[in-house]
């Protein structure tokens, strides 16, 4: 099984413990190895200045077939990292990213909802890749991108907001099951199975 690299948002003092780290038990339960890329609590200027250098550090640790999951600014970091390494898959949860930015990966999952008001802070950083993908999803067309409007997923209750999805065990299990399905499909196709 591949390694899953996880990257939290920028304004957290717990290293993602209450958000993206809640996926770790579910990821490990299905056999994934997990590497957390904690970078502490950053504010807008540090985001502007340090996202790319963090992306380089992450990309240097990625091995062929690995997967990455980001939340909020973690998605912006992983967007940059995806341009520097080869990921089999990327999962963006409530991404603080321009809605037309397509990262490089063989398969991509995007979780968004119109009630994600936190990504509206993207207007503060001009000439930066931050945007409202967390509210509207990816607005381009790409067959390898699978999108989930968390207010309208049949298997889940309506989940709005920026970090609320992590509060639901059912949602965490759903995210991991989709990752596992996509990775198995990718692995089988790659190996001619």
Tens-digit pLDDT profile for residues 64-108: 999 999 998 889 889 999 999 999 999 999 998 888 989 999 999
Domains and CATH numbers, the chain: 3-190 (3.40.50.1820)
Distance CA 167, CA 169 (A): 7
The predicted structure's pLDDT at residue 123: 60
pLDDT band at 134 (very low <50, low <70, confident <90, very high): very high
**pLDDT tens column, 110-128:** 999 999 988 876 666 566 6
How many other CB atoms are there within 10 angstroms of residue 26's CB atom?
18
CB 75 within 8 A of CB 47: no
The predicted structure's pLDDT at residue 30: 97
The predicted structure's pLDDT at residue 52: 81
**pLDDT tens column, 7-66:** 887 766 666 678 899 999 999 999 999 999 877 555 555 556 577 878 899 999 999 999
Distance CA 112, CA 9 (A): 15
The predicted structure's pLDDT at residue 121: 67
For residues 174 and 74, the model is more confident at: 174
Enter the pTM of the model: 0.92
- Closest C-alpha among 86, 87, 79, 37 to residue 58: 37
CB 100 within 8 A of CB 140: yes
Q: What is the mean pLDDT of residues 161-185?
A: 96
The predicted structure's pLDDT at residue 119: 82
Distance CA 192, CA 165 (A): 35
């Amino acid at each position: 099984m591949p390694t899953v690299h996880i990257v939290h948002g920028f304004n957290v003092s717990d290293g993602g413990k209450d958000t993206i780290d809640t996926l770790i038990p579910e990821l490990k339960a299905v056999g994934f190895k997990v590497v957390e890329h904690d970078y502490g609590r950053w504010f807008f200027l540090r985001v502007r200045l340090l996202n790319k250098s963090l992306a380089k550090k992450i990309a240097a640790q990625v091995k062929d077939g690995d997967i990455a999951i980001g939340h909020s600014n973690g998605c912006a970091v992983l967007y940059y990292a995806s341009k520097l390494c080869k990921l089999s898959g990327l999962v963006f949860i409530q991404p603080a990213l321009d809605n037309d930015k397509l990262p490089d990966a063989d398969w991509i999952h995007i979780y968004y909802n119109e009630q994600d008001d936190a990504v509206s802070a993207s207007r503060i950083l001009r000439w930066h890749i931050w945007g409202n993908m967390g509210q509207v999803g990816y607005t381009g067309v790409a067959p390898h991108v699978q999108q989930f409007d968390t207010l309208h997923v049949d298997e889940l209750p309506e989940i709005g907001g920026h970090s609320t999805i992590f509060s639901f065990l059912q949602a965490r299990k759903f995210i991991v099951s989709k990752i596992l399905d996509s990775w198995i499909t990718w692995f089988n196709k790659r190996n001619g199975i």
